[in-house]
Structure 1
Amino acid sequence: MTDIRRIQDAEVAGKRVLVRVDFNVPMKDGAVTDDTRLKAALPTIEHLKQAGARTVLLAHFGRPKGQRVDEMSLEPVAQPLADLLGDPVDFVDDITGADALEAVSDMSDGDVLLIQNTRFEAGEEKNDPAFAEALAKLGDVYVNDAFSAAHRAHGSTEGVAKHLPAYAGLSMQREIDHLVQALEAPERPVVALVGGAKVSTKIELLENLVKKVDVLFVGGGMANTLLHAKGVNVGASLCEKDLADTARAILAAAETAGCQLILPNDALVATEFKPHPETRLTSVNDVAENEMILDCGPATITALAVAMDGAKTVIWNGPLGAFETPPFDTATVTAAKHVADLAREGEIVAVAGGGDTVAALNQAGVADDFTFISTAGGAFLEWMEGKALPGVEALR
């Protein structure tokens, strides 16, 4: 169990509880088009309502950079949230001023109030102490339920926790507990799958994982950089040749740590990157100068399946090929279905995260079979990199 303070331990009856949620939801023409993040906040809000708290919701929307931008108002979120909750949700077009203070003072036990976009205040992203203190005057207790914003040291994610008793909400707890289960205290062996286009975006992730996991499979475009570093000619494939030394250092670190690092040994190649071009299946050692590696081949998928069959924990971040462009989704979809089968049968704990990863698993139709899928994006990646997240540290 992670050493954070949890909302279940807080005395909240009759108290004003500031809850940082993630309501940065997709909108079109002023209407919410995907309410996934609203639903994620419901367990904590319902817990507080039943406990007789006065729940004051804090959230950001978009990047207004400290200015009032009408299109980035949180007002359109209030009614969809109320519909999901089955109870009214009031909205105040203010953050720390007199209107917000009055709206909070008018609340009764069990009420829910949504405050205007915290990023309308310049002090939010600057984590200005005065802004954090002003926020704290709206509440008696602080709850952070937005893991996706926990990697930011902002006024509503970290600063306010210095002024009030601070606890993790139920969604935050679920995220942290699953990530700890996968990486900090996993059942071994642990297999990690890391894909994506570029090594440059995931250097710290790879450096951390080789010290944490038993088997690391690298796929996608980033595998080409590692293959190149080993002296393999990857033809016209996406490859960061200037990172060859970095790639060799990662390979050496894996060997030193006793981590088995698996790279593709066969590939689906093409001379054009478009849907359904003419393709060729070949060894990675036989790629022509005008060919691009765009997906892993069947021998690689089989080797990966064997590694996963011997695992107790699987962590996934990033697609294994150019999955958005058929037929280069084959490796990602096949591997995803294999992981899902193992997780559904209770053979492994399967945790995945990252925007492209979630899209790929949804495309494979297996997202519901994974033990846990994080939608936290940057916060998920920074946790996997071994970094301390300000919003989590404030709850310890």
Structure 2
Amino acid sequence: MTWKTLDDMDLKGKRVLTRVDINVPIKDGEVTDTTRIERIAATVQDILSRGGKPVLLAHFGRPKGERLEDMSLQPLIPAIETVIGTPVVFAADCIGEAAATVVDGLADGSVALLENTRFHPGEEKNDAALAAEMAKLGDIYCNDAFSAAHRAHASTEALARLLPACAGRLMQAELSALEAALGSPERPVVAVVGGAKVSTKLDLLGNLVAKVDTLVIGGGMANTFLAAQGLDVGKSLCEHEMTGTAAEIVVKAREAGCTILLPKDVVVAREFAANAENQTVAAEACPADAMILDAGPEAVEAITEAIRAAKTLIWNGPLGAFEIEPFDRATNAAARFAAERSANGLLVSVAGGGDTVAALNKAGAANDFSYISTAGGAFLEWMEGKTLPGVAALG
């Protein structure tokens, strides 16, 4: 699909209602991680440089339509001002007189931050009347919150249909990266999908086998696929009730010409603990009293060879229990290899969702991936082939 960007808009003198995701962690009234604020800086600074007036709309936490003091956006102002480098004026509501007074009085070069959209019950109900009240505050709508684009809320979907709408720089980068990875990728395409449960990623796996050339399955999910082949996985995390579904996915992959890579060897231990006594065994030789906690060196070699042959890589989820050593080795090795290929211009690599960012950061590989998505649910739903309401509304 096509969508407009800030480049398509005349921003001079315009009030730009900018939906952002600044749902950041706070401790003792201070922001402890400014990553999401840093991600919106390019959009806000671009609007300012072109004479526009950024009016930020955002949610924070889950107040469920109630005005809760501990979920106010006001404490975020010092962090936003530091990152963006410009004054931020706060409005105690996102609609009505309180908001209009701040927006109407906004000086050139300043930013307005409106109070938590979820303080209104109509936000999560995608209420048209609430969206219409928000629309009164702006001339242009800019959505820079890809991570909230899978929700049809008043500030992400209904509002986009009431004003000239475009994607912000972060949204534009996310959509461009995902289009490059799944829409019209350079082949061969490899997808690495890890994590604990097959049941949470059924739609994802079903969509990927029809779109990629090789699907690497790791983590606890791999145990379910190994069990589906009749292998004993001992005390490993495994959804035995999902083995039939796993077998169906294998058949679907075969019909689509997609190769599924499961570990030929695994690292097993008797306890889930850092530096637990462990051994590497063939996948079919897991002891009955042990659990599989990582892919083995032979499996890693097969994964890196698949990545070496690929032009495009999609990564979602770790290959093992990456949080504790030494069961982070497979994830680290494969991630670092992919990062090196990406840094050398040999691979387009897109990663995101769940524990993925943490795993790649721990491996020291994140900075060299072509694109890391900070969106969880939205990233997964896009990869599942679903339509995201917040994106569709921009078309």
| Shorter-chain TM-score tier | over 0.9
State whether structure 2 residue 202 is matched by structure 1 residue 197.
Answer: no
Residue 321 of structure 1 corresponds to 320
For residues 269-280 of structure 1, the aligned pairs below 5 Å read 269-280=268-279
- Determine the C-alpha separation between the residues in 2 that align with 1:277 and 1:82: 46
Shift of 1:254: 0.3
Superimposed CA distance per residue, residues 119-178 of structure 1 (whole angstroms, 9 cap, x where no aligned partner): 111111111111111111111110000101000000111110121111000110001000
Look up the SS of the partner of 1:274 in the other structure. coil
Shift of 1:287: 1.1
- Determine the C-alpha separation between the residues in 2 that align with 1:345 and 1:142: 38
- Determine the C-alpha separation between the residues in 2 that align with 1:355 and 1:216: 18
Shift of 1:55: 1.3
Confirm or deny: 8 A CA contact 1:219 1:264 kept in the other structure: yes
Judge which range, 100-109 or 221-230, deviates more: 100-109
- Determine the C-alpha separation between the residues in 2 that align with 1:33 and 1:139: 31
Look up the SS of the partner of 2:355 in the other structure. helix
Shift of 1:50: 1.2
Judge which range, 329-338 or 104-113, deviates more: 104-113
Look up the SS of the partner of 1:212 in the other structure. coil
Residue 376 of structure 2 corresponds to 377
- Residue type of the partner of 2:215? L
- Determine the C-alpha separation between the residues in 2 that align with 1:258 and 1:86: 51
- Residue type of the partner of 2:359? A
State whether structure 2 residue 284 is matched by structure 1 residue 251.
Answer: no
Confirm or deny: 8 A CA contact 1:53 1:111 kept in the other structure: no
Aligned length, in residue pairs: 395
- Determine the C-alpha separation between the residues in 1 that align with 2:297 and 2:64: 48
- Residue type of the partner of 1:222? M
Confirm or deny: 8 A CA contact 2:86 2:109 kept in the other structure: no
Superimposed CA distance per residue, residues 179-200 of structure 1 (whole angstroms, 9 cap, x where no aligned partner): 1101111000001100001101
Residue 133 of structure 1 corresponds to 132
State whether structure 2 residue 388 is matched by structure 1 residue 389.
Answer: yes
Confirm or deny: 8 A CA contact 1:192 1:314 kept in the other structure: yes
For residues 301-312 of structure 1, the aligned pairs below 5 Å read 301-312=300-311
Residue 17 of structure 2 corresponds to 18
Look up the SS of the partner of 2:141 in the other structure. strand
Residue 142 of structure 2 corresponds to 143
Shift of 1:80: 1.6
- Residue type of the partner of 2:104? S
State whether structure 2 residue 164 is matched by structure 1 residue 170.
Answer: no
Shift of 1:274: 1.2
For residues 231-380 of structure 1, the aligned pairs below 5 Å read 231-380=230-379
Shift of 1:101: 1.2
**TM-score, normalising length: structure 2:** 0.98
Confirm or deny: 8 A CA contact 2:360 2:366 kept in the other structure: yes
Shift of 1:341: 1.0
- Determine the C-alpha separation between the residues in 2 that align with 1:317 and 1:377: 10
Look up the SS of the partner of 1:267 in the other structure. strand
Look up the SS of the partner of 1:254 in the other structure. helix
State whether structure 2 residue 32 is matched by structure 1 residue 33.
Answer: yes
Shift of 1:355: 3.1
Shift of 1:110: 3.5
State whether structure 2 residue 95 is matched by structure 1 residue 96.
Answer: yes
- Residue type of the partner of 1:288? P
Shift of 1:54: 1.6
- What stretches of structure 1 of length at least 5 have no aligned partner? none
- Residue type of the partner of 2:156? T
- Determine the C-alpha separation between the residues in 2 that align with 1:111 and 1:237: 55
**TM-score, normalising length: structure 1:** 0.98
- Determine the C-alpha separation between the residues in 1 that align with 2:198 and 2:277: 27
- Determine the C-alpha separation between the residues in 2 that align with 1:181 and 1:86: 32
- Determine the C-alpha separation between the residues in 1 that align with 2:79 and 2:274: 38
CA RMSD of aligned residues (A): 0.9
Shift of 1:53: 1.1
- Residue type of the partner of 2:20? V
Look up the SS of the partner of 1:211 in the other structure. coil
Confirm or deny: 8 A CA contact 1:15 1:54 kept in the other structure: yes
- Residue type of the partner of 1:359? A
Shift of 1:52: 1.0
For residues 217-232 of structure 1, the aligned pairs below 5 Å read 217-232=216-231
Confirm or deny: 8 A CA contact 2:91 2:114 kept in the other structure: yes
Shift of 1:18: 0.2
Look up the SS of the partner of 1:202 in the other structure. helix
- Determine the C-alpha separation between the residues in 2 that align with 1:355 and 1:287: 28
Superimposed CA distance per residue, residues 282-320 of structure 1 (whole angstroms, 9 cap, x where no aligned partner): 001111211111100000001111111110011100000
- Residue type of the partner of 1:163? L
Shift of 1:6: 1.0
Judge which range, 103-112 or 126-135, deviates more: 103-112
Shift of 1:366: 1.3
Confirm or deny: 8 A CA contact 1:30 1:71 kept in the other structure: no
Residue 67 of structure 2 corresponds to 68
Look up the SS of the partner of 2:210 in the other structure. helix
- Determine the C-alpha separation between the residues in 2 that align with 1:194 and 1:331: 13
Look up the SS of the partner of 2:142 in the other structure. strand
Superimposed CA distance per residue, residues 351-377 of structure 1 (whole angstroms, 9 cap, x where no aligned partner): 110131110111111111110000101
Confirm or deny: 8 A CA contact 1:14 1:53 kept in the other structure: yes
- Determine the C-alpha separation between the residues in 1 that align with 2:373 and 2:118: 24
Confirm or deny: 8 A CA contact 2:267 2:278 kept in the other structure: yes
- What stretches of structure 2 of length at least 5 have no aligned partner? none
- Residue type of the partner of 1:38? I
- Determine the C-alpha separation between the residues in 1 that align with 2:245 and 2:235: 21
- Determine the C-alpha separation between the residues in 2 that align with 1:223 and 1:276: 22
